[in-house]
Amino acid sequence: MDRTSVKIVVAGGFGTGKTTLVASVSEIPPLTTEELLTEASVGVDDTTGVEGKTTTTVALDFGRITISPDVVLYLFGTPGQDRFWFMWDELAQGAVGAIVLVDTRRLDSSFPAVDYFERRGIPFVTAVNRFFGECDYTEDEIRGALELDPKVPLVWCDARDRGSSKLALITLVRHAMARLPARA
Amino acid sequence: MTLETWDGDDESAAGRFVPLYVLVNGRTAPRDSSLDLATQVVALPVDTRRLEPEYLEILRRCDGWISVAEIGAYLRMPLAITKVMVDVLIEQGYLEVGNPAQQKIIDRHVLDAVLAGLERL
Ligand SMILES: Nc1nc2c(ncn2[C@@H]2O[C@H](COP(=O)(O)OP(=O)(O)OP(=O)(O)O)[C@@H](O)[C@H]2O)c(=O)[nH]1
Ligand SMILES: [Mg+2]
């Protein structure tokens, strides 16, 4: 086998535990890479010109797991603010699939992520991060709130716990494999 | 090395952020569009004396297989710049490139390997 990269996206709303999940399973402390953005400020009174434009960066954090001498799995956390959709496109392209983290205190904050992967037919699993112990919702209530397709797996997780994050990853890979055409 | 920047999208709605296109050696995007941020590269044993310092610094990171994203993170370079510079190094024969993560249908053998690897974790 040639040197091969495999990508998994870790998505979800702001502060849902994406970086924590990446850190709990990565073999290196999560790294951060930045993309340059510029503000396209075109107004009616556009006299400021180019100097008026601001540049900013959006940070992505990622980790790695060496699978075999030839295969490395990269886990990319999406930027917290979901207005940077073009970054999601870059991350999702060619990915095995995504883990969408859900914080039960703010279920709706993960809805854009669910919607994004659903629309593009990218395999994903939802991982409900319980944060403070017991959760006030049943699985059905969470599925209802996120309008989850019944085929989308839902796992309960603690993003700080390696075993729990590992289970979410395994569930995703199995789900992605189940969607492949039958073995030739 | 020529490194200039411009705002590639003047037509966007006010206040919206768009990717900043970066001009490196006369190019704004990798020639090889499959160059993904997870794609790994490794230095080839060739003479590097003619290389500019910025490129040499990248090559020094590539004595073992390493992804575009890792190079950018270690050298604190934005992805847009890292990608184009890595692409220049591939084109000029300094770097060998591995399989990109971008494949329409991910190979079942690869997923089998990933699953086994995760279960061993
Ligand atoms: N109790 C508990 N706390 C968690 C869990 N996962 C994350 N946290 C905490 O929640 C906070 C946010 O976690 P992050 O991993 O930074 O979340 P994120 O999704 O990367 O956040 P942004 O990148 O800002 O969107 C941190 O203080 C974590 O320590 C969990 O499973 N349980
Ligand atoms: Mg984060």
Nearest-5° Cα angle at B32, B48 to A65:
80
Query: Relative to the CA of A81, which ligand 1 atom is closest?
Result: 25
* CATH of A4-178 given 3.40.50.300, 3.30.2020.10, 3.40.50.2300, 3.30.930.10: 3.40.50.300
The two beta strands, A97-103 and B66-67, are unpaired
Angstrom CA distances, B118 to A109, A124, B105, stand at 28, 17, 20
Q: What local confidence, expressed as pLDDT, does residue B9 receive?
A: 40
Confidence of residue A29 (pLDDT cuts 50, 70, 90): very high
Spacing of C-alpha A36 from chain mean position: 20
Please indicate if any CB of chain B lies within 8 Å of the CB of A145. no
Confidence of residue A139 (pLDDT cuts 50, 70, 90): very high
CA distance A184 to B92: 39
Residue range B67-116, pLDDT digits in tens: 999 999 999 998 888 999 999 999 999 999 998 766 655 678 899 999 99
Q: What local confidence, expressed as pLDDT, does residue B34 receive?
A: 65
The mean pLDDT value of chain A amounts to: 87
Angstrom CA distances, A91 to A33, A72, A106, A167, B42, stand at 12, 16, 24, 22, 22
Q: If we measure between CA atoms, which residue out of B66, B68, B97, B63 comes closest to residue A72?
A: B66
Residue B70 CB contacts under 8 Å (≥ 6 apart), including other chains: A31, A64, B61
Nearest-5° Cα angle at A152, A123 to A10:
50
Please indicate if any CB of chain B lies within 8 Å of the CB of A182. no
Helix (H), strand (E), coil (C) string for B72-97? HHHCCCCHHHHHHHHHHHHHCCCEEE
CA distance A153 to A168: 9
- Top pLDDT among A117 and A35 is at A117
Q: What local confidence, expressed as pLDDT, does residue B8 receive?
A: 42
Instruction: Answer whether A160's CB lies under 8 Å from A168's CB.
Output: no
Instruction: Answer whether A150's CB lies under 8 Å from A163's CB.
Output: no
Q: What local confidence, expressed as pLDDT, does residue A12 receive?
A: 92
pLDDT score of A131 more than 90:
no
Determine the residue of A9, A14, A18, A20 to mutate for testing ligand 1's pocket, defined as the one with the most ligand atoms within 8 A of the Cβ atom. Answer: A20
Instruction: Please tell me whether the interface predicted TM-score (ipTM) of this complex is above 0.85.
Output: yes
CA distance B16 to B21: 15
| Closest residue in B to A1 (Cα–Cα) | B110
Q: Which of 64-83 (A) contact B at CB < 8 A?
A: 64-68, 71-74, 76, 83
Q: What average pLDDT does this structure show over A79-91?
A: 78
| CB environment A50-63: b (16+ within 10 A), e (fewer) | eeebeeeebebbbb
Q: What local confidence, expressed as pLDDT, does residue A47 receive?
A: 42
Nearest-5° Cα angle at A94, A25 to A20:
25
Confidence of residue B22 (pLDDT cuts 50, 70, 90): low
Residue range A140-150, pLDDT digits in tens: 999 999 999 99
Spell out the domain ranges in chain B. Answer: 18-120
Give percent of chain A with pLDDT exceeding 70.
87
pLDDT score of A59 more than 90:
no
Spell out the domain ranges in chain A. Answer: 4-178
Confidence of residue A170 (pLDDT cuts 50, 70, 90): very high
Which residues in chain B have their CB less than 8 angstroms from residue A169's CB? Answer: 118
Residue B113 CB contacts under 8 Å (≥ 6 apart), including other chains: A1, A67, A68, A71
pLDDT score of B24 more than 60:
yes
Confidence of residue A181 (pLDDT cuts 50, 70, 90): confident
Does the C-beta of A158 come closer than 6 Å to ligand 1? yes
Does the C-beta of A78 come closer than 6 Å to ligand 1? no
